[in-house]
Amino acid sequence: MHWRVDELSERDIYKLLVNTVLPRPIALVTTCDANGGFNAAPFSFFNVMGSEPPIVALGIEANPDKLDGLKDTARNIAQSGEFVVNLVDEALVYAMNVCAVDFPTEVDEISVAGLALATSLQVRAPRIAESPVQLECRQLTTLLIGPKRHLIIGEVLHLHIRDDIVDEHLHIDLDRLDLVGRLHGNGWYCRTADRFQVPKLNLENWLQMTRNTSS
């Protein structure tokens, strides 16, 4: 089946995209507001977009219930120019889900979720201590993509990885990392424990394989 996107409803476009572009990494984003308060919210429209410079991208939907149309995360980033991406392992899933609740502004979802904060080294926004990987970021630019979507581009300034996950050669233990990915529908996630390896090919490898197959 196929569709012209301009003939689909907004809801159907969302449904088809989030049910097929899978799995998506999860950023539990912490920010600091203008009064020094802290906020945490998860986003799965997120990924790393490069390493030189190290770039991350966040897609954040508008909030029509707010006067400025911004979710707290987008507003705080616009005001402070900083944020922290905290990656989510399986142990963090429940607390992450609590942070997704649309609490009133005066409610501290970080405390409600039972999370501990750690001081960042280069930005004012705190880190989630329980997260296995934390990326301190500064905002490079924010693009308004249509009336309902902000695309925030950030540069990673400081990288924290839990000691038992990385060794002195910068090798990552994926089993200890234990990240989860966002899937489709209402509350579906996946683990990263089920893996397989396909070694990368160069031209010489490919030519050799082709010769072996044809002989």
Q: In this structure, what CATH number is given to the domain that contains residue 180?
A: 2.30.110.10
Q: What is the residue range of 142's domain?
A: 5-214
Query: What is the model's pLDDT at position 102?
Result: 87
Backbone Cα Rg of the chain? 20
Query: What is the model's pLDDT at position 215?
Result: 63
Query: What is the model's pLDDT at position 209?
Result: 85
Query: What is the model's pLDDT at position 65?
Result: 66
Report the domain count for the chain: 1
**H helix runs in 21-177, sequence order:** 72-80, 93-99, 109-112, 174-177
**Which of the residues in the chain have pLDDT under 70?**
64-67, 69, 215
What is the widest separation between alpha-carbon atoms in the chain? Answer: 72
68-83: burial string, b at 16+ Cβ within 10 Å, e else? eebbbbbbbbeebebb
Query: What is the model's pLDDT at position 210?
Result: 87
Q: Is the pTM of this model over 0.85?
A: yes
